Amino acid sequence: MGYSDQRFNVNLSILFTELPLLERPAAAAAAGFTAIELWWPWVDAPTPEQSELDALKQAIEDAGVQLVGLNFYAGQLPGPDRGALSIPGEESEKFRANLSVAADFAKSLGCTALNALYGNRVEGVDPATQDELALENLVLAAREADRVGAILLIEALNKPESPLCPIVSAPKAIETVDKVNAATGLGNAKFLMDLYHLSMNGEDLPSVIAAYADKTGHVQIADNPGRGAPGTGSLPLEGLLDQLKKTGYEGWVGLEYKAADAAASFEWLPREARAAR
């Protein structure tokens, strides 16, 4: 067991950001990885020019890496936003406009997981109104994901860093997953279990894994404190991933941590364990 028994991918929206976007897939491949994920890369453009989509697709294909996860449009990320789908008006409209674009892009690269970030509470808007809009948009997202053979991921963030986001615990994310699946009948909404966010919330990680592994579609890791590479903080990430594996989780583990020099930050993971099997 241990790290050598996992299927890791690199999140190119947080690692290798010292490089231009189109150079990052090759950098991940040069570091020994064969799989990547991305937040929506165009923070100002839910519907970018086709030439931009084509250029990114080409860069991923040329690098020989597999795209395994992609966010729908989520506003300024990184930045002040935590998603767009629960925000009435322009942001919700941008999210809807992005759905088919993101789904088609994912399909073109064989990516089967799409993450829909909920968004922050908005001052002066009734939370119930936001939640109603959110469910409408998550249903649309689940249908788009299903159209391209993908799952829809719903992620719990952490309250200290995302105080205005209402999904800041594993149970709240699972409740949302269940609501979406009940509304669509598709069963393709899954939990995105980010062990860093859950630890920042003070949640009992072994209990979360035991309770929700069967509803988990994707996992992300960073150490805590600091959101750095495994071994820079105090989280027992290797043991937690072993526990996940023993529950039957066979999915991806996204490396979503901060590092000034991405290539130098992978020393905790033997090179032969970086290529996904």
How far is residue 58's CA from residue 47's CA, in Å, rounded to a whole number?
A: 18
How far is residue 243's CA from residue 62's CA, in Å, rounded to a whole number?
A: 35
| pTM greater than 0.85 | yes
| Residue 52: pLDDT band with limits 50, 70, 90 | very high
> Using one digit for the tens of pLDDT, what is the confidence trace for 225-276?
999 999 999 999 999 999 999 999 999 999 999 999 999 999 999 999 999 9
| Catalytically annotated residues | 155, 256
> Using one digit for the tens of pLDDT, what is the confidence trace for 167-203?
999 999 999 999 999 999 999 999 999 999 999 999 9
How far is residue 120's CA from residue 247's CA, in Å, rounded to a whole number?
A: 32
Instruction: Please give the average per-residue pLDDT across 7-15, as a whole number.
Output: 98
> Using one digit for the tens of pLDDT, what is the confidence trace for 158-176?
999 999 999 999 999 999 9
The strand ranges marked E within the chain are: 8-11, 35-38, 66-71, 113-115, 151-155, 189-194, 216-221, 253-255
How far is residue 109's CA from residue 106's CA, in Å, rounded to a whole number?
A: 5
* Tokens matching residue 273: 């364990």
> So what's the pLDDT on residue 127?
98
**Statement: residue 1 has pLDDT above 90:** no
CA dihedral 11, 274, 170, 89 (to 10 degrees): 20
How far is residue 111's CA from residue 225's CA, in Å, rounded to a whole number?
A: 31
> So what's the pLDDT on residue 2?
80
